[in-house]
Structure 1
Amino acid sequence: MTASSLPYVVFGVTGRTGAAAADALLRSGHPVRVVVRDSVKGRPWAQRGAEVAVADLTDLASMTKALSQVQGAYVVSPQHYNREDLFERAYLIADTTARAAVAADVPRLVALSSVGADRERGTGWIRMNRMFEQRLGETGVSTIFLRAAYFMENWMPMVGQAVRSGTLPTFLAPPQRPLPMVATVDVGSTAAALLLEERTGTSVVTLSGPKDYAPNDIAAIVSATLDKPVDLVVLLEAEWHKALADAHFSTAALAGFTEMTRGLNCSHIDIKSDPGAIEWAGTTPLERVIAELAQRQR
């Protein structure tokens, strides 16, 4: 087997960014191995010609096998917001991924991270991404940390409420301040592109969308998409717990969300806070994502 015939491994294909990464690689004719926990989830990818590996992110043996004999891998650390030990779980996944990458002698990784992962504290959930970066960085494996901006798809439940009631709630404030946001399809396609670059060493790439958007802008876009008035409502911190009741967050996850959102709102979490990062931008406008989200809610 030649080096060029070895597959690229993609984790997270049951989620948005992993699916987009695998899709981009397959469309460009590259061999792909998708990693799933349940073989049934791999069937659609097998039908497209991908190899399917079954692995548990906390099991070293299955992870090492999934990462063996590859050109590179896109790795993610899914976050378990219903667990009280979500940070401990995130470290276990990071440690297992790191040990498996070394054991399998993976030539390079692209690891999904988040803006704010360069900050030591005050980032809430993003601390899990920082753990992922730090543990992988200790391995010596060539790794690109892909720090994505706020996902455009995070607006899905709020768009659903706007469809039903004409009110668009937001945790982000002040409502007139633009924030970098990115579509998950751009995250996945960027991960695929970075894998194909075959660069060596460790680096950080930040990824935003084609422009920044304020909550006021989003309300206007949702209003235009639905062709009806939409009122933006900025939720006070005292209301966050009630607003998130349907998400079934653990107490630890809710505390992490609160700290992260505070960090976003006071600009402590800033896409430009790491001067050594390389800036990339996706091409998908928020208008397109909002239109897709609204269609699903109707």
Structure 2
Amino acid sequence: MNIILGASGQVGSNIVKELISHNLPVRAVIRSRNPGFDSQVEIRTADLFNPEQLTDALEGGNTVFLLTPEDPASNDIIGETQQIINNYKQAIHANGIKRVVGLSCIGAHVEANTGNVLMSRMLEQGFADLDIEKIFIRPSYYFSNWLGFLETVEQYGVLPTFFPEDLEVDMNSPIDVATFIAKVIAHKSRSSDVFELVGPQKYSSRQVAETFSKLLDKHVELQPVPKEKWNETLASAGFTASTTANLVDMTQAVIDDIVVPENPDAVCLPTTLYQYLKEKLEK
């Protein structure tokens, strides 16, 4: 049984759909919201902070997909991440799980003040003492992050960014990431490995604004947020002091060129920024 945690999220839900399309057994573990899966999907509910529920959810599994959820309302995002990883290990040990596939991110190999990237590093290192197959997937910046500004772009013709205007960053489609992970899950190798994923090219914030301009047929002005306004801007969007600090640290690490692939042979995913945004805007 292939068990997918975080199955109501954009990556998890698409992993489930991809596995079902290949007639593979899938159990989707969700906290509350059912994304409306195919009837072939077994569904269980579990709170990742509840070790008993998590242990029950992993019963009978052989491969489990893991991730570190990011809660903007958390007052201790790093402490909660460690708690979740501890619960994962307890549930995996209790059920004799032999294989984990973890959603990490590019830069997880770096030992530095990398904010949210540190959560992925914690996930990778958290299973070092378990004698099981461990595969970690490190995608780059999701195209979907820009959709959080869509209302501002559509109403005001402005795209805010925390990055320098012409800083080019590795980016990829979360749908491509899910498809890749599903293939990894389906391929029953007996090895531990790390896969780093990038898109077909790097993009700058300016290029993102230009892409929105083309798709919406209107001028979209790029609006860089000065560093002294980062905390205030994130707080106004509902982030706590803890999650704000981590996002600020991660953003600075990207700008400082710290959050980069560890190896030169990263997997290149096919979808371009234009293709991804076009499909999302047409829905």
User: Which stretch shows the higher mean deviation, 8-17 or 175-184?
Assistant: 175-184
Q: Which amino acid aligns with 1:170?
A: T
CA shift, 1:281, in A, is 2.3
Q: Which amino acid aligns with 1:49?
A: Q
CA shift, 1:196, in A, is 1.2
For residue 289 of structure 1, the aligned residue among 262, 270, 276 is 276
Give me the whole-angstrom Cα distance separating, in 2, the residues matched to 1:294 and 1:235: 25
What TM-score, normalized by structure 2, do the two folds share?
0.94
Secondary structure of the corresponding residue to residue 128 of structure 1? helix
Q: Which amino acid aligns with 1:35?
A: V
After superposition, where does 1:51-70 map in structure 2 within 5 Å? Answer: 51-70=42-61
Q: Which amino acid aligns with 1:161?
A: T
Secondary structure of the corresponding residue to residue 9 of structure 1? strand
CA shift, 1:92, in A, is 0.5
User: Which stretch shows the higher mean deviation, 155-164 or 224-233?
Assistant: 155-164
Q: Is the 8 A contact 1:125 1:257 kept in 2?
A: yes
After superposition, where does 1:154-233 map in structure 2 within 5 Å? Answer: 154-173=145-164, 175-233=165-223
For residue 30 of structure 1, what is the aligned residue in structure 2? 24
Secondary structure of the corresponding residue to residue 64 of structure 1? helix
Secondary structure of the corresponding residue to residue 146 of structure 2? helix
Matched, 1:109 2:100: yes
For residue 21 of structure 1, the aligned residue among 15, 21, 24 is 15
Give me the whole-angstrom Cα distance separating, in 1, the residues matched to 2:113 and 2:31: 32
For residue 11 of structure 1, what is the aligned residue in structure 2? 5
Identity of aligned residues (%): 26
For residue 109 of structure 2, what is the aligned residue in structure 1? 118
Give me the whole-angstrom Cα distance separating, in 2, the residues matched to 1:62 and 1:80: 20
Give me the whole-angstrom Cα distance separating, in 2, the residues matched to 1:230 and 1:49: 44
Give me the whole-angstrom Cα distance separating, in 1, the residues matched to 2:59 and 2:199: 33
Q: Is the 8 A contact 2:13 2:35 kept in 1?
A: no
Report the RMSD for the aligned CA atoms in angstroms. Answer: 1.8
Q: Deviations over 1:150-206 (max 9, x none)?
A: 011000122321111111111112x22321111111121111111112222321111
Secondary structure of the corresponding residue to residue 288 of structure 1? helix
Give me the whole-angstrom Cα distance separating, in 1, the residues matched to 2:119 and 2:221: 34
CA shift, 1:53, in A, is 1.7
Matched, 1:236 2:226: yes
Q: What stretches of structure 1 of length at least 5 have no aligned partner?
A: 1-6
**Pair 1:170–1:265, CA change in 2 (3 A):** same
Aligned length: 283
**Pair 1:252–1:203, CA change in 2 (3 A):** same
Q: Is the 8 A contact 1:171 1:240 kept in 2?
A: yes
Secondary structure of the corresponding residue to residue 216 of structure 1? helix
